[in-house]
Amino acid sequence: MTYLLGLDISTTGAKALIIADDGSVIASCTTPQPISTPQPLWSEQNPSNWWDGIVASIRQALADAHLKGEDIACIGLTGQMHGLVLLDAAGGVLRPSILWNDQRTQKQCDEITTRVGFERLIELTGNRALTGFTAPKILWVRQHEPDVYARAAHMLLPKDYIRFQLTGEYAMDMSEASGTSLLDVANRRWSSEVIQALDIPESWMPALCEGPEVTGVISGRAAELTGLKVGTPVVGGGGDQAAGAVGVGAVEPGIISLVVGTSGVVFAPLAQYAYEPDGRLHAFCHAVPGMWHFMGVMLSAAGSLQWFRDALAPGESFDALLAPAADVPPGSDGLLFLPYLTGERTPHPDPLARGAFVGLTVRHTRAHLARAVLEGVAFGLNDGFQLMAAAGLPSDRMQVRVSGGGAKSPLWRQILADVIGAPLVSTNSTEGAAYGAALLAAVGAGVYPNVPAACQQTIRTSDATEPSPAAAEYAHSYALYQALYPALKETFTRI
């Protein structure tokens, strides 16, 4: 039996996952990670905490699996995207990492757009300049911490700092590099045009690699700390969304990953590079070599239902809350819900967008409100599907693989299938991005010839939910929903 190790540096934990070559999970351990918010809009973590956490998780996972370091054939990496790690020439960390959810850099985003040009930036990088991305953070450090900037020699992302600690190599995979605003996404190389326009030293950029490509091997120091074997290969890996897509088998066109977690993500693999001209979708390289993907991100998906439960029915189970909603007809008797409780990203990149119930009458009950929340989130996720179709994503023979807490509700799954107009299926893999990282490691170790083959052999689908006749009713409600944001945008801004 061959064993693979997937490592995941998420915002909340450092996870080590061991799987066997047949895809079965052998052991999993997560060490919690602290977050610092020293000022309003700031979100930071200390990279040394990631390393300490991953060392502890690796050792515990090996112990739980009753394995030794030499039993691990290859290691894959994944983690939170966009976080800036600045190192000096000796590899020392210069300041805490500025994370993906840090919001201090809107001024720098505007500067990037001005320097490169809105249309050219999206053409090259596939995306707008967003506060979560890495390049604006570099400019912020240059402007506010010039002493730190002057000492910097290397730029990495969170999982790539772990790679450096494991192997001594400075490298970054294509999917993660896509989220820096510094990659020529179509050509899978650093964009000299953008880097020069922003006056960032190109020497800071790490070597680029594909997801299953071996980037280095475990060093003697890392082996001593972790219990892994010296010389064990480490592959490129992928950002959390790309690795998560590998983990559910969304590695070929037509297989879509739909995550209904606190936020909602629609992830669609592409065989060729494409981008949405207004930047309302993310266009990134996939962790699968030679592939790209569209991604729509909705900030409050299951988070909307969480808010509704906590505000109107604290302590009640979600099953009890949603049971009466099943008896409410599709369209919630004219009640609509806008799920922009924390602003929005897709299709409206607007931090000032707000939530709303529209169409309330005395006939509406709490059950109507609950169903309207489910429908509103489904409409919001469908916005991503519609943008992808308009940008050239084929919609025929589409299979949607759904995961996340919201997917556990049969009612919500049915609403989603009806609104999107495609069957939804579950997968046997529940370990998320770490599982995808381990599969990338399996390819790197030669267990499988390529990523699609690895997914075909290890991932199975079940529990299909087909669209019902209610889809016609939802087409009418969705048209009403789409008109709400333009009508309310000015009010949201004034609020």
pLDDT in tens, 218-241: 999 999 999 999 999 999 999 999
φ/ψ of residue 180, rounded to 5: -95, -15
Q: Which of 7, 34, 161, 153 is nearest to 85 (CA)?
A: 161
Q: Which of 243, 250, 236 is nearest to 393 (CA)?
A: 250
Question: 190-223 pLDDT, tens per residue?
Answer: 999 999 999 999 999 999 999 999 999 999 999 9
Class of domain 249-427+460-495 as given by CATH: alpha beta
Using one digit for the tens of pLDDT, what is the confidence trace for 349-372?
Answer: 888 899 999 999 999 999 999 999
What's the token pair of residue 383? 């916005």
Can you tell me the distance from the alpha carbon of 474 to that of 469, in angstroms, rounded to the nearest whole number? 10
Instruction: Report residue 208 CA to chain centroid gap.
Output: 20
Position 396 pLDDT exceeds 80: no
Same fold, 3-242 and 249-427+460-495: yes
- In the structure, what pLDDT confidence band is assigned to residue 391 with cuts at 50, 70 and 90? confident
Check if 278 is active-site. Answer: no
> What mean pLDDT is predicted for residues 274-291?
95
CATH number for the domain whose boundaries are 3-242:
3.30.420.40
- Residue 230: which residues within 8 A CB-CB, separation 6 or more? 217, 218, 219, 220, 223
Q: What is the dihedral of CA 146, 148, 152, 156, to 10 degrees?
A: -110
Q: Is the pLDDT of residue 488 over 70?
A: yes
Q: Could you say which of 71, 184, 240, 383 is catalytic?
A: 240
pLDDT score at 305 = 97
Domain ranges of the chain: 3-242, 249-427+460-495
Exposed, middle or buried by CB within 10 Å (0-12, 13-18, 19+), for 491? exposed
Predicted confidence at residue 395, as pLDDT, reads 67
What are 404-462's pLDDT values in tens digits?
899 999 999 999 999 999 999 999 988 989 999 999 999 999 999 999 999 999 999 99
46-94: per-residue pLDDT in tens? 999 999 999 999 999 999 999 999 999 999 999 999 999 999 999 999 9
**270 phi and psi, to 5 degrees?**
-130, 140
Model's pTM, two decimal places? Answer: 0.93
**Distance, CA of 447 to CA of 438 (rounded, Å):** 11
pLDDT of the residue at 393: 79
What integer best gives the mean pLDDT of the chain? 96
- Coil, strand or helix: which one is 154? strand
Query: pLDDT band for position 392 (50/70/90)?
Result: confident
Tokens found for residue 119:
């249309």
pLDDT number for residue 153:
98
pLDDT above 90 coverage of the chain, percent: 92
Long-range contact set of residues 218-223: C-beta below 8 Å, sequence gap at least 24: 218/75, 218/166, 218/167, 219/166, 219/167, 219/168, 222/165, 222/166, 222/167, 223/69
